[in-house]
Amino acid sequence: MKLRLNIEELNDDFFEETRLLGITAPIKNYLFCWQLNNLVGFNFRLNNEIEIPLRRKDRTYHFSIYESKEANSFLTHFLYHNYCDGEYLLPEFKHMDYLWLMKYDWVDDEKCNWIKQAIKSINGVQMVAELTNEQIKNKGNMVF
């Protein structure tokens, strides 16, 4: 008997009960995080342990992920940089500079809208849009 790993099922499990935002903001990632932390009240820190290495064109690209945990909750926010040296983590969203994943606890519409408005209030942010699972073709690229 052979056991097969169902990658699509694993990817779907990873994204279960999550919310994902795409952000267009041509701002350096450390500066964007600084603004989110100081102007909006998050606590984003670079987490090198969950960095995404992607192999393309005989080279490995490293996509950084910043993490912010909410107090008194399981909710964790992950901010992915969608671009690295000419490559994209999610090529279907080349116009998005960042991907914001909310995971490990439910986020209702009211809170999601508050977060979107807070991000939009930052200087240099051009667009914030919620992305649906159906829109993401390369889900596996975001799984850590």
Give me the residue label for tokens 């992920």: 65
- Token representation of residue 123: 């200087």
Alpha-carbon distance of 97 to 84, in angstroms, equals 10
pTM for the full predicted model: 0.90
pLDDT at 3: 66
- Mean of the per-residue pLDDT values for the chain? 93
Alpha-carbon distance of 61 to 55, in angstroms, equals 6
78 in a domain, yes or no?
yes
First and final C-alpha spacing in the chain = 29
62 in a domain, yes or no?
yes
Give me the residue label for tokens 């393309």: 56
Q: Which domain holds residue 62?
A: 7-142
CATH number at residue 75: 3.30.310
114 in a domain, yes or no?
yes
Question: Do the Cβ atoms of 63 and 51 come closer than 8 Å?
Answer: yes
